[in-house]
Amino acid sequence: MKAGAETVRTAMAGRWYRETLQAARALGLPDWAIGAGFVRNAVWDRLSGLPRTPLDDVDVLFFDPADTSRERETALEARLAAALPRPWSVRNQARMHLRNGDAPYRSTEDAMRHWLETPTAVAVRLEADGSLAILAPFGLDDLLAMRGAPTPAGRAKPDQYRERMQAKDWPARWPGVTLVWPD
């Protein structure tokens, strides 16, 4: 994972990404990271030699069973938007199992194990010392190979996975992307 981690760190080195990570870190949330398209798009843009792909939202994840209210997430999104203009989406992974019909998650990384595709199940966290921690429960191979593949959850929910892959249409943006379809 070391060589792959360097690719992720390089993709996150730009000012836009650093400012975004710093704003999220400033919230002081427990077990936080930014994942999904924030990382996937940055890596695929870099590998494809493309400019930064605009995001529908910046997915800030955290895990705090002490307060799972949607109101808290909304307040955090407002704080982030006031600090830095981005399309923020903040979700406490301690409550997301309810929406997804899963057993309770134990951490942010555990919640990511329930996402549908492997290249999206990657997140980063800016540590206090400025280093970048990478959460990748399925590794980085599919992300670096520009391959959309189902996770075990994606294989268990093949219709949802197929709908998502068709809606995302990643090969239209990144011609090098290949999609793997569940059996």
Q: Taking 80 as the threshold, does the pLDDT of residue 125 lie above it?
A: yes
CA angle 11, 12, 15 (to 5 degrees): 115
Mean of pLDDT values over 162-180 = 96
DSSP state of 52: P
Enumerate residues 6+ apart whose C-beta is below 8 A from 172: none
Concatenating the DSSP letter of every residue in 86-141 gives S-EEEEEHHHHHHHHT-PPPSSHHHHHTTSSBGGGS-EEEE-TTS-EEEE-TT-SH
Q: Taking 80 as the threshold, does the pLDDT of residue 1 lie above it?
A: no
Q: Taking 70 as the threshold, does the pLDDT of residue 80 lie above it?
A: yes
> Residue-wise over 153-166: b if at least 16 C-beta within 10 A, else e?
bbeebeeebbebbe
CA angle 24, 26, 27 (to 5 degrees): 75
Mean of pLDDT values over 115-144 = 97
pLDDT at 101: 85
pLDDT band at 98 (very low <50, low <70, confident <90, very high): confident
Q: Taking 90 as the threshold, does the pLDDT of residue 4 lie above it?
A: no
What are the structural domain ranges in the chain? 2-146
- CATH class in words for 2-146: alpha beta
Residue type, 110: D
How far, in Å, CA of 125 to CA of 132, rounded? Answer: 6
Convert the pLDDT of each residue in 99-110 to its tens digit: 888 899 999 999
Percentage above 70 pLDDT, the chain? 99
